[in-house]
């Protein structure tokens, strides 16, 4: 199967990926195995049918504040939902243009969206192999965008990004979004686990990197940039 390259080149992403592996103790081999299994139960996605050129894209996170701020998506042309944010958006009466998930919370929503013709970026990592094997074959195959943190291979793409939320932003960038706005995000969410809090630190760092690459200031990072440990833009 061909590999569709979108977003960051893997040469650019790999040193960042290596830092994430080291920070969390993740197994690169497990990520690669999950990627390869995802390739066997999905097909390469045709990105020609999905472009956000000229669009303002809302990148919607699933923080508790989303319930009170969901109407802010009205100012966007397109909506990308991370995980359970898709449910909140749909319940509020808005359409989701793309869902990003690693299948850990609301796979029924992901399945439903694919059968409605809405693309869902399904992410493979070392801890969700069983979900990939059991769930992805039940999705509408032509609406599944298979993604990985490891090197893209056999139709599984790597647009960049780590958590569902920041990966959604990297996908929007890869799909040529004109501008990004962030709804339902809280980097200081005290209700999450210690590990999730550490992941939010990385999400913040990656968004700061993305805004530098894009030459765009994300309002969600206002008054926070000075405290962010910046990631150098890789040159290799």
Domain boundaries, the chain: 10-227
Question: Token pair of 81, please?
Answer: 């939902």
Greatest C-alpha distance within the chain: 45
Per-residue pLDDT of the chain (236 residues; tens, 9 = 90+): 344 456 678 999 999 999 999 999 999 999 999 999 999 999 999 888 898 999 999 999 999 999 999 999 999 999 999 999 999 999 999 999 999 999 999 999 999 999 999 999 999 999 999 999 999 999 999 999 999 999 999 999 999 999 999 999 999 999 999 999 999 999 999 999 999 999 999 999 999 999 999 999 999 999 999 999 999 876 65
Q: From start to end of 71-160, where are the E strands?
A: 78-82, 98-101, 120-124, 144-148
CB 136 within 8 A of CB 160: no
CA 15/CA 37 separation, integer angstroms: 24
Residue 235 region by backbone torsions, left for phi larger than 0, else alpha for psi between -120 and 50, else beta: alpha
Please give the structure tokens belonging to residue 13.
């992403």
Crossing angle of helices 194-214/164-174, nearest 10°? Answer: 20
Looking only at the bridges linking them, the beta strands covering 78-82 and 56-60 are parallel
Single pTM value for the model:
0.95
Q: Considering only CA atoms, which of 73, 77, 116 is closest in space to residue 92?
A: 73
């Amino acid at each position: 199967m061909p590999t569709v390259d979108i977003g960051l080149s893997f040469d650019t992403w790999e040193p960042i990926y290596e830092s994430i592996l080291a920070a969390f103790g993740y197994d690169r081999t497990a990520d690669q195995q999950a990627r390869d299994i995802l390739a066997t139960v999905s097909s390469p996605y045709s990105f020609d049918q999905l472009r956000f050129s000229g669009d303002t894209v809302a990148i919607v996170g699933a923080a508790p504040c989303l319930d009170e701020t969901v109407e802010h998506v009205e100012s966007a042309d397109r909506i990308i939902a991370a995980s359970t944010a898709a449910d909140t958006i749909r319940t509020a009466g808005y359409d989701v243009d793309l869902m990003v998930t690693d299948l850990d919370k609301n796979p029924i929503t992901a399945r439903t969206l694919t059968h409605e013709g809405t693309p869902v970026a399904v992410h493979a990592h070392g801890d969700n192999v069983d979900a990939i094997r059991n769930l992805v074959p039940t999705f509408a195959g032509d609406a599944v965008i298979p993604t990985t943190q490891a090197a893209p291979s056999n139709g599984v793409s790597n647009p960049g990004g780590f958590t569902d939320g920041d990966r959604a932003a990297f996908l929007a960038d890869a799909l040529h979004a004109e501008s990004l706005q962030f709804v339902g995000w809280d980097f200081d969410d005290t209700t999450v686990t210690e590990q999730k809090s550490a992941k939010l630190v990385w999400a913040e760092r990656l968004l700061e990197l993305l805004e530098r690459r894009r030459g765009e200031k994300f309002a969600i990072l206002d008054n926070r940039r000075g405290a962010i440990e910046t990631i150098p833009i890789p040159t290799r």
